[in-house]
Amino acid sequence: MAALGQTSRPGGGRRLRTSTRIYTVVGLFALIASFPFLWAIVTMFKTDPDLYNAKNNPFLYNQPPTLGHIRLLFQQTPYLTFVRNTVVIGALVVLITLALSLPAAYALARLTGRWGGRIGVLIFLVYLIPPTLLFIPLSRMVASMRLQDSIWSLVVVYPTFTVPLSTWLLNGFFKSIPRDVEEQAQVDGYSRFQAFVRTVLPLALPGIFTVVVFAFTLTMHEFIYALAFVASSDHMTISVGVPTNLVRGDVFFWQSLMASAVIIAVPVALIYNFFLDRFVQGFTMGAVKG
Amino acid sequence: MTTAAPPAPTATRERHRRYLFDREGILGSLLLLPSVAYLLALVGFPLVMALIYAFTNITTGNPVLHFVGLDTFRAALSDPVTRTSLRNTVVFTLISQAIVVVLSVVLAFALRANFRGKWIARFLILLPWTTPIALGTIAWLWMLDSIFSPIDWVLSHVGITSPNSHMFWLGRTHLAMGSVIAVQAWRMLPLATVILLAGLTSIPQDVREAAEIDGAGFWRRMFGIDIPLLLPISAVALLFGLVFSFTDMTVVFVLTRGGPQNATQVLASWAFFKGIEGGSLGEGAAVAVFMFPVLAGLAALILRMVSRAEVS
Amino acid sequence: MAVVETRGVRKVFVGQTPAIDGIDLATKEGEYLVLLGPSGSGKTTLLRMIAGLERPTEGDVLIGGRVVNDLPPRVRRIAMVFQSYALYPHKTVAQNISFPLAAGGMAKEKRPERIKWASSLLGIDHLLDRKPRQLSGGERQRVALARALVREPQVFLLDEPLSNLDAKLRSSAREDLKEFQRQVGITTIYVTHDQVEAMGLGDRIAVLDKGRLQQLGTPHEIYHEPANTFVATFLGSPPMNLLEHDGALVGFRPEHFLPEPLVSERDGRVPFEYRVDRVEYLGSDRLVYGSIPAISPGTRVIARLPFTVTTPVNEGADERFAVAESSLRFFGLDGGERIPAQPFKLKGVSA
């Protein structure tokens, strides 16, 4: 186990002496965490003869790397369709989520007393209900709404998990904005709604932005409903299209498959990292305040 | 000596219907209504239907609610795959979360310090969680390939296994189970770590300094102060992880499709294969319903923790 | 300019004891009325009901003769300054001040003139482009006042606006506030828990405790003719001494409790044997802590001697002190209400 090796100097602050053991532990975890992706990155540039030769060292390019597989991915597979579907669904779901959760979060933060607190907890608990319990009846509901095998089935169903989370996050944000400023605006001449728009919203923009990012990425990650409701590749998202559809016959085009994963994974990871602190802040704020 | 209110003529009352929206209670309910209605329709209702389906023999071919009592349940229970799925689900959940708990504590403590390159380290460590699950699992699918796995290559070149041998990570019963558990732990570790780290940094500095003045050394501080104060938040994180792993099927589906021969089948994936792919909605629902008691119990636990946190 | 009235106002929050339990109150036009009371007395709740931020559970609130219970704040033509000043953090000072004008629909061209008027009245016209976070506490308060003034409200409501200021700043700010109100002449209702502020600022003071009005009167009336023991002990620092005697509570203020020779016989001198425990030297005064064993050995009795009184007072000694009979106040034992003066006869003390 790593020792943190902190020394405190008398009469001064603490000075951290990071030991090599921390680097080792963290390095090990970082390697294990990222190794599949590093491996995917190596793989995606390998030529077929290089890759499919079991005698070759898999970590080296025994033949020069090629962009051919990436080209194949974009030109000869429905990958771009998947990307387009994912973006469209994501945008629509974000809009629906904001439309539903902004008023709900405001109501919970300002307008309701104890019964509001209970409803807030219930809304949050909805997030815990697993899709694998709901997907069977939902598939019938989707079919009876004639939305099966279309992106609209997902647009309609995805807010079931983005709305609880957004409401919770936004609730925490609104609660942290003092009432005074809103009430002052009401005294100064605005109705409650106008006061909200003019004083609370500008201050809550960071929270709203965080919600947008998370709603979008949750949509992008989702697999189960997409798998259950959509069958034809024209309407698939990346998350379900890549594992099920980028297989021609029984042959896995591994390099293209790896490329398809990496191309999405890295930018999303970068964005997530920027917003992580805010998300955690919202998580713990919500947990403490219920 | 209070001054009495001067007698005044009857004062006029302003019409109040115009200002309906300024009344707190009504406005609050109105604003909550859309979300609550939506969730009731698309979560509450299907939840009830899932329970109802389990008592019918409804299929996609014949979508009629024909009640058959416990027949569907009996059929599900007598099916050995269902029993295997149940057992696998428990094993899968408990072992993967146990790994996550232990490792996340280690990682959280290690990440508490600030060091050069922390940003990169954090980026890499978070990759399993920030990537869409299906895509991360695909990467593992390739890494565990029966012929071209780099792990096999390293193992045989280092001498642990005989040259050019293959482990068939996903082809052998116990190895397949182990692989699935490992991938699940791999992808849930970052979130647990982040939550623990947030909990760690929220431990007030003066408590730790008081302990140091009182003479507590590094290990005692960690086990006597940090870990106990972390317990609430890590309990919530663990409960979430348990709920999620118990009911998830993504890793199993992408990695093994439940194979080899249902060795890695879990309740959620089996419900999928039966209900959605197979079209036998009633049976699928019955299998899914087995998840329900455990889920309800865990949810009750979470509720109790959250409300206790509210009180404090 | 308007009169604010409350009639039988009650406010009950769900599951709690009433915050306001029946208050009848009426301001005079243009007066500076202070709502004074300890925390939890309901003074802020009362203010918020007058503002329209809370609805009374029972009773009526009237402004300028109209019942305003159902009217939202924006229609009541009131201005309010919160304890935190509630300046809009994302707007400049000028924008903060013009906010109510924009809300009221005033044409854009007309606004700068009013902004200038309000800001020069409060001496902040050099700060118009700054943001709130760049201002000191005193400056923020003045911005809040300018913003309140700019709409020409009929009532000013202030909720402890001085409590966020440094102690030193508070007394000069108090002076400024009083001067400001005198100039604009708008009916003002001011909430505070600080009796010094209340006495210094108020034309009249409404003393509240536990949601009830204890007394409404001028500072002089409240201080010298308290209606009950609460008012008697809440005002005055140190508070009025209260002793149980002869079936009633007798009270006298520390500044009226002096060494016997200093109280003239013609004022009806009432002598006491005063056992001194401790003397505090405060510079301008001496505070003497002790008890009067003949009446109530366990009750602490405090005397305040200005520096002009040079009589030596020794710790541990029994000194002869006295109170003028006209300075005695009598209260009922049961409930603490003020009762008419009765002749004070102390048994066993030689005159």
Subunit contact C86:A180, Cβ cutoff 8 A: yes
Q: What count of CB pairs under 8 Å joins B to C? A: 52
What's the pLDDT at A102?
92
**Nearest chain A residue (CA) to C105:** A189
Q: What count of CB pairs under 8 Å joins A to C? A: 59
Identify whether residues A183 and A204 lie together within a single domain: yes
Subunit contact B1:C25, Cβ cutoff 8 A: no
Q: Give me A127's structure tokens.
A: 């997030």
3-state secondary structure (DSSP) of residue A191: coil
Query: Taking 90 as the threshold, does the pLDDT of residue C303 lie above it?
Result: yes
3-state secondary structure (DSSP) of residue A162: helix
Identify whether residues A197 and A266 lie together within a single domain: yes
Predicted complex ipTM: 0.81
Query: Taking 50 as the threshold, does the pLDDT of residue A72 lie above it?
Result: yes
- R_g over Cα of chain A: 24
* Torsion angle (degrees, nearest 10) of CA C140, C143, C148, C149: 140
pLDDT tens figures, C55-70: 899 999 999 889 998 8
Q: Chain B contact for A187, CB < 8 A?
A: no
User: In one letter, which amino acid is B227?
Assistant: I
Q: Give me B43's structure tokens.
A: 């979560």
Give CA–CA dist B2/C205, Å, rounded. Answer: 11
User: In one letter, which amino acid is A45?
Assistant: F
- On average, the pLDDT of chain A sits at 81
Identify whether residues A123 and A253 lie together within a single domain: yes
Query: Which residues pair with residue C276 across a beta bridge?
Result: C290
Q: Which of A274-278, B255-259, C139-143, C307-311 has the lowest mean pLDDT?
A: A274-278
Q: How many helices (H) and strands (E) does chain B have?
A: 15, 0
Question: Does residue B218 or residue B107 have the better pLDDT?
Answer: B107
**How many CB atoms neighbour CB A99 within 10 A?**
14
Give CA–CA dist B39/B32, Å, rounded. Answer: 11
Q: Residue A189: pLDDT band by 50, 70, 90 thresholds?
A: confident
- On average, the pLDDT of chain C sits at 89
The single-letter DSSP state of residue A77 is S
CATH number of the domain enclosing A217: 1.10.3720.10
Pairing label, strands C296-306, C285-292: antiparallel
Looking at domain C4-224, its CATH architecture is 3-Layer(aba) Sandwich (3.40)
Cis peptide before B232 (omega within 30 of 0): no
Q: Chain A contact for C143, CB < 8 A?
A: no
Please give the average per-residue pLDDT across A144-155, as a whole number: 88
3-state secondary structure C185-197: CCEEEEEECCHHH
CA nearest neighbour of C272 among C319, C326, C330, C331 = C319
Identify whether residues A21 and A154 lie together within a single domain: no
Q: What residues of chain B lie within 8 A of the CB of C216, using their CB?
A: 1-3
Does the predicted TM-score (pTM) go above 0.90? Answer: no
Give CA–CA dist C194/C179, Å, rounded. Answer: 19
Identify whether residues A108 and A146 lie together within a single domain: yes
Q: Is-contact B271 B287, C-beta < 8 A?
A: yes
Q: Chain B contact for A99, CB < 8 A?
A: yes
Q: Residue B8: pLDDT band by 50, 70, 90 thresholds?
A: very low
Q: What residues of chain B lie within 8 A of the CB of C69, using their CB?
A: 13
- R_g over Cα of chain C: 24
Identify whether residues A165 and A33 lie together within a single domain: no
Cis peptide before C238 (omega within 30 of 0): yes
Q: Is residue A213 part of a domain?
A: yes
Please give the average per-residue pLDDT across C333-341, as a whole number: 87
**Nearest chain A residue (CA) to B246:** A130
Subunit contact B123:A269, Cβ cutoff 8 A: yes
* Plot region of B31 (φ>0 → left; ψ -120 to 50 → alpha; else → beta): alpha
End-to-end Cα separation, chain B, in angstroms? 45
Q: For chain B, give the percent of residues with pLDDT over 70.
A: 90
Number of domains into which chain A is organized:
2
What's the pLDDT at B121?
85
* CA distance readout (Å), C286 to A281, B99, C281, C292: 54, 72, 5, 18
The single-letter DSSP state of residue C28 is P
- R_g over Cα of chain B: 27
Q: Is-contact A204 A175, C-beta < 8 A?
A: no
Identify whether residues A147 and A284 lie together within a single domain: yes
Locate the domains of chain C by residue range: 4-224, 240-339
Identify whether residues A110 and A195 lie together within a single domain: yes
Identify whether residues A272 and A136 lie together within a single domain: yes
Query: Taking 60 as the threshold, does the pLDDT of residue B6 lie above it?
Result: no
* CA distance readout (Å), C327 to A58, A114, C21, C195, C217: 103, 52, 32, 21, 19
The domain B71-114+180-311 is classified under which CATH number: 1.10.3720.10, 3.30.300.180, 2.30.40.10, 1.20.810.10?
Answer: 1.10.3720.10
For C191, phi and psi rounded to 5 degrees?
Answer: -100, 135
Give CA–CA dist C21/C190, Å, rounded. Answer: 20
3-state secondary structure (DSSP) of residue C248: strand
C-alpha dihedral sign at B233, A106, B296, B244: negative
- CA angle, residues B189, B187, B240, in degrees to nearest 5: 65
Give CA–CA dist A281/A276, Å, rounded. Answer: 9
**How many CB atoms neighbour CB A84 within 10 A?**
14
Give CA–CA dist A207/A105, Å, rounded. Answer: 12
The residue segments making up the domain with residue A24 are 6-66
CA nearest neighbour of B191 among B252, B136, B264, B260 = B136
CA nearest neighbour of A141 among B176, C175, B3, B50 = B50
Question: Length of chain C in residues, anyone?
Answer: 351
Question: Does residue B89 or residue A19 have the better pLDDT?
Answer: B89
Q: Give me C328's structure tokens.
A: 């005695």
User: In one letter, which amino acid is B26?
Assistant: I
CA B305 to chain centre: 16
Query: Taking 80 as the threshold, does the pLDDT of residue A248 lie above it?
Result: no
The domain C240-339 is classified under which CATH number: 2.40.50.140, 3.40.470.10, 3.40.50.700, 3.40.50.2300?
Answer: 2.40.50.140
Subunit contact C65:B11, Cβ cutoff 8 A: yes
Query: Which residues pair with residue C81 across a beta bridge?
Result: C158
* Plot region of C282 (φ>0 → left; ψ -120 to 50 → alpha; else → beta): alpha
* Count of CA atoms in the C-beta half-sphere (13 A) of C347: 4
Subunit contact B11:C221, Cβ cutoff 8 A: no
Identify whether residues A14 and A127 lie together within a single domain: no
Give CA–CA dist C206/C9, Å, rounded. Answer: 15
Q: Is residue A134 part of a domain?
A: yes
Q: How far is A160 from chain B (nearest CA, A)?
A: 6
Give CA–CA dist A31/A46, Å, rounded. Answer: 22
pLDDT tens figures, B121-134: 888 888 898 888 88
Q: Give me C101's structure tokens.
A: 């004008």
**How many CB atoms neighbour CB C335 within 10 A?**
8
Q: Which of A100-104, B194-198, B250-254, C347-351 has the lowest mean pLDDT?
A: C347-351
Q: Residue B101: pLDDT band by 50, 70, 90 thresholds?
A: very high
What's the pLDDT at A16?
46
Name which of C62, C213, C338 is nearest B11 (Cβ-Cβ).
Answer: C62
End-to-end Cα separation, chain A, in angstroms? 35
CA nearest neighbour of C351 among C256, C263, C289 = C263
Q: Is-contact B130 A268, C-beta < 8 A?
A: yes
**How many CB atoms neighbour CB B6 within 10 A?**
8
Q: Is residue A233 part of a domain?
A: yes
3-state secondary structure (DSSP) of residue A247: strand
Whether C240-339 and C4-224 are alike in CATH topology: the answer is no
3-state secondary structure (DSSP) of residue C338: strand
Subunit contact B1:C26, Cβ cutoff 8 A: no
- On average, the pLDDT of chain B sits at 81
**How many CB atoms neighbour CB A90 within 10 A?**
21
Q: What residues of chain B lie within 8 A of the CB of A54, using their CB?
A: 147-148, 164
Q: Give me B165's structure tokens.
A: 């041998």
Subunit contact A190:C103, Cβ cutoff 8 A: yes
For C263, phi and psi rounded to 5 degrees?
Answer: -105, 120
Give CA–CA dist A174/A168, Å, rounded. Answer: 10
Q: Is residue A1 part of a domain?
A: no
Query: Taking 90 as the threshold, does the pLDDT of residue B99 lie above it?
Result: yes
Q: Is-contact B73 B54, C-beta < 8 A?
A: yes
Query: Taking 90 as the threshold, does the pLDDT of residue A99 lie above it?
Result: yes
